[in-house]
Amino acid sequence: MRLDIYTHLFPPGGYMDRVIELVPDKGTVKRWVTLPTLWDVEARMRMIDGFGDYQQVLANTMPPLEQVATPEVAAELARMANDGFAELCAKRPDHFPAFIATLPMNNPEAAVKEIDRAVGMGARGVQIFSNIAGKPLDLPEFLPIFDRMAHHDLPIWLHPARGQAFADYKTEAKSKYEIWWTFGWPYETSAAMARIVFSGLFDRLPNLKIIAHHMGAMVPFFEGRVGPGQDQLGTRTSDEDYGALLASLKKRPVDYFRMFYADTALFGSASGTRCGLDFFGVERSLFASDCPFDPEGGSMFIRETIKILDELQVTDAERHMMFETNARRLLRL
């Protein structure tokens, strides 16, 4: 079985219509409505059937609720999304053996309650974004959410969030050429990972499990910077005592970065996949396609990612770990 642990779908049950009403940029809606496998469950299942022994874990799609809704409305929408996914997975476990819960991250108290409720309905983890409407994840207000996930011993899926309004240069008002997505999203994920590492969160919660989307983003390629480079933390800074922070950590920074899990959603990059496996190891790497956001409407990234994993110079047992057994262990399926 090939178990795809990161695919996006609008939860059934009216959620998509509610979000469309709230999204200020209707340009994003244009893409949604022309991508049936993003919202049509029957179309999605037909696509899945074309890949044989293949199943999908479901996650909500963009936008993060905290970007479009008030704390009260975000909590309502999270409940709607999780109810829709729970019902779908219960009805079609042959296609969708698990779902990832949506959280109202601008309402941390409600988010903790929703974690418990969603896990009780079968959620095998939660999805959070690399920033919460511009706030970093290591703020104290979000700590109860990480505490709760460590209590449940279920993973957090870390998804990047950055838009066109985040300019590439201080002299400009917006990012051009979709640089905010191509290079901005990997930076977002990497920055969030660093904030988690240096906040001491892994020391506080050593069993915390976080899946960094897109094969850990920039981190594997920049192993030298997060390794020997950050072994020198503080030597480039005069206004904060990062040397004391470094001394307070129980491990080297690079060893904390290796505590993340990574998925293979790299849009068909064989070299990127090998780089990520070199850094995280087979034991912390899981098959994911990021379906359905490809030029063919959903099937291309699945097909290309499977091909890359099939051609990797690994043992059959290691390939099986990435395709299925790592996910079953991590998600406790």
Question: Is the model's pLDDT at 270 over the cut of 80?
Answer: yes
Per-residue pLDDT band for 12 (boundaries 50, 70, 90) equals very high
Per-residue pLDDT band for 287 (boundaries 50, 70, 90) equals very high
Tell which CATH architecture fits domain 2-331.
Answer: Alpha-Beta Barrel (3.20)
pLDDT at 186: 98
Structure tokens at 52: 């044989």
Do 330 and 261 contact (CB within 8 A), yes or no? Answer: yes
Count Cα neighbours of 83 within 13 Å in the Cβ-side half-sphere: 9
Count Cα neighbours of 253 within 13 Å in the Cβ-side half-sphere: 26
DSSP secondary structure of 63-79: SPHHHHS-HHHHHHHHH
Q: From edge to edge, which strands make up the β-sheet containing 54-59?
A: 2-8, 54-59, 98-99
Distances (CA, A) of 143 to 102, 136, 137, 196, 207: 17, 11, 8, 11, 15
The size of the chain, in residues, is 333
pTM confidence score: 0.96
The 10s digit of each residue's pLDDT in 175-225 is: 999 999 999 999 999 999 999 999 999 999 999 999 999 999 999 999 999
**Angle made by CA atoms 79, 85, 86, in degrees to the nearest 5:** 85
For the segment 9-24, the average pLDDT, to the nearest whole number, is 93
